[in-house]
Structure formats: C-alpha cells, structure tokens
Structure 1
C-alpha cells in the first residue's frame, strides 16, 4: 500500500507538471517542466510496477532538477526551495524502508534487511547532494552587497535651513530642507541595543469599518520646546509632553464629512509650525487676548463652494467639463471670504500650528493651547481649500501633507483622487499670507503663468496635475520644491495638454514669493505607470570637484534617484535618456525615451527564471502568467492584454523617501521591489462601472476616459508575490559619485505568514521613511513586519529591533528631552492599503 501511495503522489505531481509545462512552453517559456513531468511520470509507472529502476530514475531526475535550478537561480535558498523542496520530500519518502522493501520481488521481501541497492544508492546520493546545496545556500547571502563607509569627512560645512536647535524636530523632515538627519549623537552603534520604552501614549483614534481602506497613520511627530505635536488620520492634533508622554491638549477639527464612494484616503502626515516674535509682526497684525470664532464646519465649506454642483449616485459630478482644455472649468462660481485689514492675534498665537484636514480646510491653532487663532482666513482661523475648485465632490480633494511655512507665507498643496474620473478637482498650489490668510498667489499647472490670485467668480483648471506629497523650501534661494503627480487617468495619456505633459511627474521649483516657475525637471516622460514623484526632495550641500554644490535629492517610484542643482535644476549626477518600449492602447502613445540617473536603485529586468512560489506548482503558475503578460522591461506601456509593471506603482521609494547625511554626503533608504499588473479595460460609455462594484469605493474607473484600469500586485493564487524574494532592502549610496555603498536584505515575513508567524529573513516591502543621526545610527519602522529597527550607518548592519503593537508605517523622529536623554519616537497605527495591524500608539524609546 505504501508503494502505491508514493507512486500515485509522484504520478500526480508529474501529471500536473507535464500539463503546466506544455502550457508554459506554448506561451514561449521553458521546456524543462515538460521534461521534468515526463521523468516523474516514468518514475511513478516503474515504481508502481515494482521496477527498482524507478527509484534510480527518480534520483537522476532530482539531480537534473538541482543542476537546472542552480543554473537559473544560483545558490539562493529562497529561489531553490520551490524548485526542489517537494521533489526532495518525495525522494526521502521513496527511500524509506517500506518503499524499498516493497520494490523487491514477493519471494524476497521476508527477512530482507531493506533491499537497498544501486538504484537506492543513486537516490540517496542525489538527496545528500541536494541537502548539501540547501545547507550551503541557507547560509549564503547572494542578494546582500556588503560595504563600509570608512572615514568620510564633512563634504560641505554650510547646510540649508539652519536654525533649528539640535535637540528638536521642527518640520516633517526635521527642517524644511527635508534631510531627516539629527545632529544628536547620544545614541550610537555601541549602545543602541540598550534602547527601551520610555513612555507610550494612545490617541484613542483607530480605523473602523466605516473608514476608507487607506486610513493610515503616516505622521512624523514634531518636537519643539519639549512639546510633541502629532495628528491622527482624522486630523485631530494632540500636544504631548515629549519627556513623559503626558497629554497637554487636543484639538479636534470635527470632521463631519462621512466617507463616500469617492473618498480614497484618511491621512495626516503632519502639521507645520511657525514661531514669531512680537516685534516681527506686520503693521496690520496686533496682539490681543480672547476667544476666537470656531472654524467653519466641513459641511459649510463644501456647501459654500459647491452650490451649483450636482452629483450622480456614485458621487461623480455631472455638470463638469471633461474636455482636454488647459484653461480652468467655468463652474462652479465660488466666493472667498473677505480678509480684514487688521488682524487681531492673541499672544499665545505667536507660536502657531497649521493643520491640514482631509475635508479640505487649513486651520491655524495656538501651539501653546490648541485654540483657534483668529484673523487667519477671515476671523475664524480657517481657510476653505475648496474655494475656486472645479468639480466639487466631497472626498475627492484633501490636504494630506503639512504645508510649507516661510517668513511671510504658508504654501499648501493637496491630493486629488487618483483615477476616479477625468472630471476631478484641481491640483492647484496656493500661497496664503501667514497672518491674514489672504491668497497671495496660486500655481495652476495647466495655466502656469497666471499666478496672481484668481478672481472670486473663476475656477482653477480641472484635473490639473497635483502635488500630494511633502514639499521642501530653501530660504536662501526663496525656492519651494514640489514633487508633482499626474492628471487622471494615470495609465492612459491620450489627450493630455502641453502643460500637463510638461509638469506631470516632475520636480517643480517655484519662487516662493510669487509662485513663478524657476525650473522644472521631469523624472518620467508621458507617465503611464503612476510614477508620480512621491517623496519630499532632500536639500543638501555637497562638495564635488572641490566646489560646494547646492543639491537636491529626488527619490522616485521607478528607483531612479536624481541629484540636481537646486538653484538651476541641472543634473549634478549624470542623467541619460534611454529608449523605452512603444506599444500602447489605441489613442495613446509612449515617450520614445525615459531619463535614467547615474544613481539608481531600479531593479534588473525580470526574467521567467525570477518567478517564485512556495511550491513547484504556484511557481509554474507564475511562470505562465509572466509569459502571458506584455513585458519589455521598465516602462512597458499598459495594454488591453495585460502588462507587467516593475517596479509597480507601490514604488521603489514612496512618500517615506530617503534620509541624507550632510556630514558624509550619503543617503540611506529602504528600496522596495514589487511587480504589479495593469490591464486596460475598454469602457462602453463614460459613466458605467467597469472594474468596481456598485457601492464600493471608486478606484481606477477613469469615468470620462476611454479605458478603465484593472490594477493589482503580481501574485500567485496563494496571494504571494510571483517574483522571488527579497522584496525589501536597506541601502546607502554616495551622493557625490552615485555609487551604491551597501545593500542588505531587510525584514521578516513574521506578520505576512498568518498564524505561523514565521521569522524568516526574506526581505519584505515597507512604506515609510528612515532617519539618520550624527551618532551613526539610522532608524526605520516602515517594514510590514511590525518592528522598529536601528542600523549602523557605517555598514547597514541591523543592531537593534523592537516589536511594535501595530504597523509602523510612518517616519520616526528623534529629539532631546528635558531630562537630557535622546529619544526616538515611533508611531504605530498601521496602514490600510498594506494590511498591517491598525492601532493608535505613540512610543518613545531612550537609553536607560
């Protein structure tokens, strides 16, 4: 009976592999699976018939598979395991005494010591060789690139945006330069392992079933004068004692707008801080005390801006302009509140926070008390960001990133829903007077020369490319640097206007005082892959060729890191234009070339041999899918047949970006590698749902466009990535040469393997950014395995990790407490679209 069971198992495996191998060969893939399947079928038939040569044939098959596997994947354990693990297990079962005895003739079975002979020896030798290869592979690290920075001296003494005390964190990237680098040095590679929890705070606000899927904790805490400021995904602002974690005050903007079918995000990446001295106030701003008027409610704001807008059942505007004109749509007519000539500012509002909300407001509150600061935006401390917007649809426009604050202005960008409709609000960028809230300039990327404040009875251009991520600011040059997105739809570019083609997926430098374009640098031409620039540009002064260069570092989703002169926009590290694939859907075209930087984390082109699975079967499935999809390497345009996009729109880098060390001239980041698939679905009409169900949130429908898009990760039937691991690294690079200094596999599958909680170090994806310190330690909490980690900046070696109670998809910050200790603060609240555990914890770590 044992022989029959084993023979049937081998036969079944052989049958599946043969059938799948024929299918794979038919779509242009490897013929090896056909050979493997036939050999397994032969071995199963022979063992069924008690022919001992079946065991020997199985051993030869195992050896052939091993040689083929090493030829395809090298000595990489995670690549070899799915090719041979199942066959090795069956080989062990075939070599057990019950099987060997059953293979002897009936008359010779009684009293035999097991009947091992030449064929059994061939199989045994094959298993020993396979075991040796497996053992060697398990302890090799073929994907690691070791390195050591050695003694690197300061590359440029003067850095942009100085003035923030060493022990504080005043802006999203610590300063408006966005370096994410702290001069603190108390925590070092030698003592980081002793970090322990100093305090924990719970906000009490977590994702619920009525919230959008992408309700995410992405806030980076600010720390000023021993007070920590955080916001929740629901735009609540909380002030904590940075040394003890005790709550000082809480400001709730009372979001009243319920999630709708068009609501895609609930996110707050942070608030912005401004400190003024009484003597610095403009003549029309006076100090006073007293209560401020309450902020306008979301219902009042949307109603005042959308009196003439109508929507269909899906929440999509019906009375909108859907053509490709660059000028703004004429509807609806909106009224901006009058700004008083004199502003009364309570004394406690000399220090203020600017709070963006997900329902389209910008509110200013006292950093000391959390109370509304009057006089800004018409007396109630609130600016209506829906003002002059076309295509008013609740949930379709929001400010998710902290604004930039200069000496006289607060500059606000905003997110517009991706790929819901071509009739979207505008991605306009606006600058308001710091004290009055009066509109000073507006930059509409479809009408870039009209920066004077728009008239009350006009509207901005609909569907203009937006800047949803965090901007940077150089006060010496008075330039603001904005990472730009695309107009919807991302995957179809037919009919885009001249200015859209210019500004989409670019770094945009504006004169902060006027909104005038100073320079722009496009990172993707005619973007069809949702490769918008996702991260805050890092501003750093580099020494190159003996000269100090004012540089800007721009990490991108496709993995290119562009290092530009931030004064001129010219590349500091070489950028070349390389040919790109050209096949597109009807009505579209592809750019003939795409820019590539000398500093690049773009992954190698995927091969069929890179397909992966936990077993032979799902790996074979992924190979077939790989061959069925259109894929000509990077920048393969989306098609109706289905396209493999690698890296996918999750991005090699996303909004977490990178940290830069001005003392060493390096960057530290978390490159991520996940392939996605895109299938363009032709629409029968402009408004019917194609890729989503009625009642579900609207994603990728592209109402008004000729195609909807079916987008998702490239996964096997088990839901695992079809490309072999690792999927995530930590890495460092030299910003003056473009050399990658080291790269290490990063993260475990503990929280991606269900109840098994497997601690395998496979390198997992992540979202969120790192920070670096003068002590030589980098910190990162963004991986999808719910850990915060500390790394030796010199080598990239992981030195410390601590378990988090929820997903840590936010960028940490570090500061000095009132007790003189250096603290690391981590937000653990989870990220809806990555599926990490939701939570509401703010955790501070310090040395004992």
Structure 2
C-alpha cells in the first residue's frame, strides 16, 4: 500500500460540490449548474492538467477505466482500471495519496468510482471517508490520508460475499458501480454471474461508520414476500441474478431509493424459472432507511434477452398542464424510455401490453406479452430487414444475407431458438451503463444509444456425458468453446478493446491469476466459479496450450439449477452480427446521441455520435459508433460525451445538437466525464484508458485559458 499525505493542502471557500456524487448527484442527473464554460467559449477549451496513472506493470494490456471521478472541496477521488483508489488535487492534478486494495497482488475488472461520506458530529471533528469496492471487498478509507478506517469491518474492509444465499467462501460478488449514501447508510448493489448457479442480487445497506449490514432487500423474493408467487416454489434456492449493477438514485427529501434491476439467470433460458420473475428487469422504489418495498414496475417479463436495466433511474421533474410532477425516467437496452410518477409508480405516458412471439425451446414458456410505452418513441432501432444489411463486398453481403434468412426473426422479443435468433437491439444495444443526463431547466433527457445486432445460437448442454472420454486439454477446449468463444473468438484473438486477446497469455499472467479472474470475473466478463469448479486443470491446460492426453476428467459440474432441469446456453452471447471480414452487418448509424423532452415525450434532435472513417461512405454523414459512456449536461448550454472508439471527447450545443468542440485523447475514454469548480475556475475532467506508452491510463482535465 502506498500513501501520500495532504501535505497541508487547503481548499478554497469558492470550491463547490457540484460533482461530489457518482453521476453528479443523488438524482443521477449528470447535470451541473456551472456555466463558466459555455457555448460562446467552449471552442477555447484546452488541457489544464493530466494525471498519469502508473499502477500497471510494464507490458500489461492497456486498462479501460470506467470511473466517473467525484470532487469534494477541491479534491478529486477516483479509481483506476486496476481498482486502486486515488486522491488528486483537482486544480493541479497532483497526487495526494493512493491506495492499493490488493496489497501488491494482481487486481482489475470494472470500477466506476467511489462514494464520499462525512460526519460533522464526531467530537467536533469532521469524519471524512471514501467508500469503494475492489474485488469482493468494501473498503472505508480516511479521505485525508487514504488509510483504511480500522473500526470499519475488519481492518477497514467488509466482505460482500457475506449475507447472500450461499457460503461466503464458495462465491465472489464483485460490484462495479458505486453505492449511494442515505444518512449513515451506504446502499449497495452488486455484480453477480449471469450463468447457471449465480447468486441472487440482493440490495444491501451498510453502516458507514462500522460496516455493519443494516438491511437487505431480496430481489428474488423469499416465501411470504411479495413477488414470490411469480417464480416456481423453490426458485429462491437456486435462481440468481436480478441485481443492480449499474447504480441507483435517491430522493433525499422523501427518503426513497430507486433501483434499476437486471435479468434473472440464466439470461437466455428460463425453463427452471417459469413466471414473470419479479423483481427481474424492474424499477423498484424502497424506503432508504429500512429497505421496505414501496412500488415497482417490471419493464421486461421473464427476460430471455439479457435486457438488464443498464443505468440508474434519473429522478426528474416534468411539466404537464401547468403543473410540475416529480418523476422517474428509466432508459433501457431495448431502446425505450419509461417515465413514472415518483411516489406511486404510475406511468406518465401510456404503456401497452402487446403480444410477443412464443418460444419453441423445450420446456421454455416465454411470457406472452411485454410492455411498450407509446411515448417517447424508441431511441434505438428495433427492427431490421435485408435492405438494412451492409454491402462491403459481394461475398460479405451474400454471407450475412444467407445468415439473416436462416434465423428466426420476428422483431423485438423474438425468443431464443435452436434455429438461431437475431436480436436488435442486442445486449450492448440501446442505452448502456453511462446512463442519461437530465437538464432540469428544460426537462430534456440526453441519451447515448447503440445499434448493435447480435445472433443468439442456442445449444443444449450435456457436458457430463461429453466429458467421460475426454482428455483434460480437450475438456478445457470444450469449456472454452461453450462459454468463452463468443467474446474471445475461436482463435483466442478477442475483440479489442472490450474483449482482450488470449494469445500469449502465459507470457503476461500466471496460471493462478488467470484462474482467479475466471472464477471471479470482472468488467464485461461474468464470474465462472461454478462452471470451472472441478475443471480448473482443464481450462488452464487449454488456455496455456499444454496438452495432457493421458489424463481424464471424472467430474463435470456446471452450476446450480432446478433439480433435473435441462440446460441450454447461448454460445454466441454478446457477439456482434458481422460479415466474414469483421464489418458490421447493419447499416449505420451504429451510435447516436438523442435529446428528448420529457414533458412532451417528443425528440428535439438525434445525431450520429462518433465516426468510423474506414467504413464511412464517400459523402455520407458520420457512421456513429458504439460506446458505453454517458453524456453530461451543463447550465452553460453544453453536452459533453466521450466513449467512442475514435478517442474523441466532444461538446455539443444542448439545444440543437451542433458540435461546438472536440479533442482527441491518448486512449479510449470509456467513462462518463465530470465538471467542477476549484478556486473560481471550471474544469471538465474524465478518466482515459491506457495507451501503448502508458497502459495504466490517465485522468485529464480541461479548462479555459
């Protein structure tokens, strides 16, 4: 662990707290009231300082930081791609302290930031703490020094594996987004596996002083709890998922916390969880002090598409008939915006339950209807035809046309099928974890959207039989081809930057570290602890290219499920629909930025965001690109957003969508920006991924001259 003290650093009375919480505030608004940087001068924006992170070993693969830094009284707090925590002078970029939560061991995965808590009543002194997660641990650090708070949990940390369904030593729960503070409570969601045998994604609240678990909300209800009847009788014993991995929002005045919950596991086959599966894919309102249920709305019934709610709900206020209504706006992967009365959960625009296609998979019972809001209209494409297929070459077009014709496709909510199924939007489509930005002055909501079709390829899993006569190496290959190939490819080359190449893994990572990552997951990779249990030698033999032809496997387990239930896997989950040369199968735009007026439900503007110059047709508009980072909006009339593969940070006029400024960054900034003021000067800052010269990445700040 490394520490640097504040060395007498003093904050200014002019310093504010306009970005002291993940996504700006408890409302998850991503809005700033600052206006020093505005439409008239943003073209003068220039680099103010760069903090170079250096917590990776030389030769490491470039990190992809998703951290949204927070700033409290002139101090920036952030995490790196390796999960180190940092305190930085927000006016100069000088490091004040750093904390290695792994004490020198290998770390990593997704970390989207930290949470700040303070108490001014402790013996006349202000107790300031940074609360953040790394691996399966929740840490509390002294905000002044970066040292663990000894009285919090055990030596400054609490195991997040404690308090779920199964024994702590057999699981690993790894949150990705920061918790949110209500009085002395830190309310947390978690990232859990999306495979068979996943843990339930219970919501938990911890005491900020002691680390003690105060309350738990069962997202998969136990017997006697509301929603239990929407599952099979014993599902609470084996079903998993239904977790809040993207963050949450908080109405401080009403004492209400709002959750955006994900899908039940397994994501693409639910024969062992027949029913609506509450509170899967639901917006849920709870009493923040107790975790008691207030209301919910389920946005996808019995999810078979991994349509998690991907971002925190935005707490908004809309205007209707001369009145203002406090509301909740939830964006989705399948391209809808749902708007509810904040107190009651009543929809503020009409929603229809429409019939959707039935499943033909053995044992599966897809829910016969799904909710369709009539306003606002979808912000992502939800339908495609052969006319929408790309034509980069005759052979490529013929290949994707043949594939398109071979699949079952009946539009949105076409269920997984042994024939193969097209998904649009896909699991990375529509909105992503960066979430939306809300402007209270105009009731405008700004949404980044992806158009990213995927192919579902469903395969029945009978690996126990298959394993009997296999060598260790062959069984490792079978595991890889079942669970890993969709992301890392048949040749292990991956799909950078989201899915790293595994070629030459043995030169970059020890077998022990690789196995730990496989078990625990991280980033877009789910935890595979239940999958590799008893088969550790097999997957390592394959990944490290070590044939062991004389050895046989005798045990093959693949996760807890309903007794006797069949298992089906989507073996191309999370993969793009592309032609043989890797070109997108769907015509652009592949990414857009959208502005919707929540008071009327109408769009003010929609524009492509990002550009793939190699695939842009001559004279055509920009292609747009996929991206997970979200926008921020300011009183200066600007929307800032990064996250596209062209490495740009851009500023748009929030009223028109006109580009006002852009700059090229040293790496992909797959993170939402922040803006703050120090000593009367406004800055825009963001985490930037690693480069060839510095794989650890950067934090960069921009300001006017």
TM range (shorter): 0.7 to 0.9
Q: Would you say 1:717 and 2:580 are equivalent positions?
A: yes
Provide the C-alpha distance between the structure 2 equivalents of 1:569 and 1:550, rounded to a whole number of angstroms.
Answer: 11
Provide the C-alpha distance between the structure 2 equivalents of 1:477 and 1:188, rounded to a whole number of angstroms.
Answer: 33
Offset at 1:582?
1.1
Q: 1:386 aligns with which of 161, 173, 176?
A: 161
Indicate conservation of the 8 Å contact 1:399/1:468, yes or no: yes
Question: Corresponding residue for 1:845?
Answer: 702
Indicate conservation of the 8 Å contact 1:826/1:844, yes or no: yes
Q: 1:778 aligns with which of 630, 639, 656?
A: 639
Q: Deviations over 1:207-242 (max 9, x none)?
A: 98888x9x6311001011111110113221101111
Provide the C-alpha distance between the structure 2 equivalents of 1:255 and 1:632, rounded to a whole number of angstroms.
Answer: 52
Question: Corresponding residue for 1:674?
Answer: 452
SS in 2 for 1:397: coil
Q: Would you say 1:468 and 2:468 are equivalent positions?
A: no
Q: Deviations over 1:240-259 (max 9, x none)?
A: 11111011111111267768
SS in 1 for 2:139: strand
**What TM-score, normalized by structure 2, do the two folds share?**
0.79
The 1:209–1:652 alpha-carbon spacing in structure 2 relative to 1, beyond 3 Å, is farther
Query: Quick check: which one's helix share is greater?
Result: 1
Indicate conservation of the 8 Å contact 1:613/1:716, yes or no: no
SS in 2 for 1:825: strand
Query: Quick check: which one's strand share is greater?
Result: 2
Provide the C-alpha distance between the structure 2 equivalents of 1:519 and 1:417, rounded to a whole number of angstroms.
Answer: 26
Offset at 1:685?
3.7
Provide the C-alpha distance between the structure 1 equivalents of 2:690 and 2:448, rounded to a whole number of angstroms.
Answer: 18
Indicate conservation of the 8 Å contact 2:629/2:643, yes or no: yes
Provide the C-alpha distance between the structure 2 equivalents of 1:645 and 1:830, rounded to a whole number of angstroms.
Answer: 32
Question: Corresponding residue for 1:203?
Answer: 53
Provide the C-alpha distance between the structure 1 equivalents of 2:390 and 2:167, rounded to a whole number of angstroms.
Answer: 45
Q: Deviations over 1:171-220 (max 9, x none)?
A: 11111110000000111112111110011111113598888x9x631100
1:546-565 to structure 2, matched below 5 A, reads: 546-565=322-341
Question: Corresponding residue for 1:273?
Answer: 116
Question: Corresponding residue for 1:647?
Answer: 425
1:226-305 to structure 2, matched below 5 A, reads: 226-254=74-102, 266-278=109-121, 281=122
Q: 2:262 aligns with which of 467, 475, 485?
A: 485
Q: Would you say 1:370 and 2:233 are equivalent positions?
A: no
Work out the number of aligned pairs and report it. Answer: 592
1:11-50 to structure 2, matched below 5 A, reads: none
Provide the C-alpha distance between the structure 1 equivalents of 2:355 and 2:128, rounded to a whole number of angstroms.
Answer: 52
Offset at 1:742?
0.7
Provide the C-alpha distance between the structure 2 equivalents of 1:464 and 1:764, rounded to a whole number of angstroms.
Answer: 29
Provide the C-alpha distance between the structure 1 equivalents of 2:400 and 2:216, rounded to a whole number of angstroms.
Answer: 48
Provide the C-alpha distance between the structure 1 equivalents of 2:339 and 2:109, rounded to a whole number of angstroms.
Answer: 32
Question: Corresponding residue for 1:574?
Answer: 350
> Which has more radius of gyration?
1
Determine which structure has greater relative contact order: mean sequence separation of CA pairs < 8 Å that are 6+ residues apart, divided by chain length. Answer: 2
Provide the C-alpha distance between the structure 1 equivalents of 2:587 and 2:695, rounded to a whole number of angstroms.
Answer: 28
SS in 2 for 1:722: coil
**What TM-score, normalized by structure 1, do the two folds share?**
0.66
Offset at 1:530?
0.5
- Unaligned 5+ runs, structure 2: 1-13, 226-235, 468-478, 486-513, 520-524, 532-557, 560-565
Q: Deviations over 1:462-521 (max 9, x none)?
A: 6252111111111111111111112221000112166x7111111111111111111111
SS in 1 for 2:112: coil
Q: Deviations over 1:586-629 (max 9, x none)?
A: 11121211112211214141001110031233122221111111
- Unaligned 5+ runs, structure 1: 1-163, 260-264, 288-346, 452-458
Q: Would you say 1:659 and 2:437 are equivalent positions?
A: yes
Q: Would you say 1:428 and 2:215 are equivalent positions?
A: no
Offset at 1:388?
3.5
SS in 2 for 1:495: helix
Q: Deviations over 1:791-827 (max 9, x none)?
A: 0001011111100101111000001122x22110021
1:743-822 to structure 2, matched below 5 A, reads: 743-750=606-613, 761-818=622-679, 820-822=680-682
The 1:446–1:686 alpha-carbon spacing in structure 2 relative to 1, beyond 3 Å, is farther
Q: 1:508 aligns with which of 284, 290, 300?
A: 284
